[in-house]
A and B are shown apart, each in its own frame.
Chain A
Amino acid sequence: MKRYTQITDASRPASDVSPWKSAGTLDLACVGYGLIVVVAVLVSYVLGVFAWLPYDPEHISFGLLNAPPGSAGHLLGTDFLGRDILSRLIVATQAYFLPGLVAIAISLVAGTALGALAGYRGGGVEVLATYFNNLVDSFPRLVLILLVIAVFRVDIYYIMIIVGVTGVPVVASLVAGKIAFLRQKHFIEAAHVLGLPAHVIVLKHILWYHCAPLLVIRATIGMGEVILIETSLSYLGFGVQEPTPSWGNMVQAGANYFFQGKFWPSTAPALAILFTILGFHLLGDGLNGILEDRSGK
């Protein structure tokens, strides 16, 4: 879980220059790479849903086992059962894409509500939110998920509800920190003086105008976490089951061949995980550098 501390620097110059114009090259490069990954994931998802694939991902051909990348029309080669790896990688995005969006939606909506209450009202709600925060942090996520799997034998959507709920405190603390910082600002004071009701100030002036970048950043990093959890679970055998591909169970299924020196069936999905998670993390960090702590640089 990543936590960014809000920079409480009141002397930050109020510039009208777009943050994108003054952004550092490194941040822009991170965001660029991240956006490429996001587009790749989106395109893969759509291709998978409509089954516009080079090959049937579950078609077994014994004539072409462990083909290296680029052979006989199989762009990324075939696995130990002769199944096209590229098609399987594309279809496997379905394993985390929609469940991940569910988890992110839950943590953003509930986290924003809790954070806004805690940050704006303070007092008892804040104490309660802090307690909830520490409580959720007490469990290793994977252990909690395994507990729920053992008790309820649930599918991925229910698991993602747990991921979403355990993601709530991070969002709540970010939003609460942001609100605590904004509350001292003159424009909020002015809104109070003008007699605007609290819900307008919180929803429009604070959340809508000033928390959107924060939530977008959180969502991208959340997607990285979701992919990590989904691939870990399907690696452990609790998520998507063979022959339906997921990046995690593809790595697992290729393990025996890996130790015989046939690295590719395990390595291809592992690289997909690496580049995708890296993309979401860099996108989040790059956006954070550009939109949130401009004064830091």
Chain B
Amino acid sequence: MKLSALKPVALVLSRELALTALLLLGVSLVVFVILFLAPGDPFSVLLEGQMPSHEARAGVREALGIPTTWYGQYFAWLGNLLRGNFGTSIRTGLPVFGEIVRVGASTLYLTLGSMLVTLLIAVPIALHASVRGATPFNRPFTLLAYVVSALPVFWLGYVAIYLVSRQLGVFPLVSQASAPTERAWLYSLLPICVLGLGNGTVSEVVRYVREELSRVMAEDYIRTARAKGASVWRHAFREGLLIPMTEIVASKIPFILGGAVIVEQVFNWPGMGRMAWQAAQDRDFPAIMGIAMVAATLVRTGSLLQRVVYVAVNPRASQQQRGGGWAE
């Protein structure tokens, strides 16, 4: 890539970065408004049993240096977030941010793995369907993709646990002390496979990739490539497979993260989803607030990466306006 070609790409990327920042600002505002509207406030606890008059409240506020206006509070809160101060968890008393970082890795492992599983299942079906058309062979697979998408993921988890632990004799590590049985690593793959199958996106990935690939295969340049004996795959891969795959995966990150909440619950997987569940159970505001912020950041990062791939693969895109935005 020549340097002159790099400049418009950089321009697009800086615009995307600005857009991401703007959206994350909106995300923080939404979270703040929800927290702001929460019933009750900590001052009632501080002033318990003191007949809290209006003056007393104002005095405590001032003494603690808390802004009185809502936007003052918002910016103070946002400043803390930006410095990585998400507050301390009400349940554990530990800083929320450190806790999220600690459990976030296992959630990333789970979600990235399950995305791979989803693609490994969906893309071959889509490929076959778009290259061969609807044949008696691939129609059952398409139907199967629908059924899998409608399966409740928690029940699928039970079935998987039962099959693997009862029938194959593979057991989870109950504690660090127990000796790792053979094939125990298989068990850690289980939630990944279950989430990959059951996150409800398989049928949509199949359909989207199939439609995009069929559209590209019908283009003139593919016909030309075929006519001159060039590799059709080399010509169709970028636009027909790489871009649709990144697009659909990026747009499904929220679903996979949502599914992770349930799968982590089923498998007792120590991740962000389980932490979110626990926080909602205990009304642990700082923890669930932090998770919502981190999850939204992950979603936006995924979508930013998708744009990077898109622009890198297709530099022409940098000359066009971002396609209306509705297409996302």
Contacts and interface: CB of A to CB of B under 8 A. Distances in A.
Contact of B295 (A140, A177, A231, A281): A140
Contacts of B77: none
Contacts of A259: 158, 161-162, 166
Interface secondary structure of B, over-half rule? helix
Interface residues of A, number: 53
Contacts of A149: 280
Contact of A273 (B149, B152, B161, B255): B152
Interface residues of B, number: 58
B281 interface: yes
Nearest to B154: A235
Contacts of B38: 151-152
A1 B27 CA distance: 20
A135 B21 CA distance: 11
B262 A232 contact: yes
A237 B281 CA distance: 9
Contacts of B296: 138-139
Contacts of A135: 23, 26-27, 30
Interface in B287-318: 288-289, 291-292, 295-296, 299-300
Nearest to A237: B281
B257 A140 contact: yes
Contacts of B155: 251, 266-267, 270, 273
Given A135-B27, A138-B254, A282-B146, A235 B295 contact: no
Contact of A133 (B255, B265, B280, B325): B325
Contacts of A267: 155
B66 interface: no
13 contacts: A134-B23, A137-B299, A138-B296, A139-B30, A142-B258, A143-B288, A147-B288, A151-B35, A237-B281, A259-B158, A270-B151, A270-B152, A274-B150
Given A143-B288, A147-B34, 5 more contacts: A5-B327, A138-B300, A140-B258, A143-B276, A266-B155
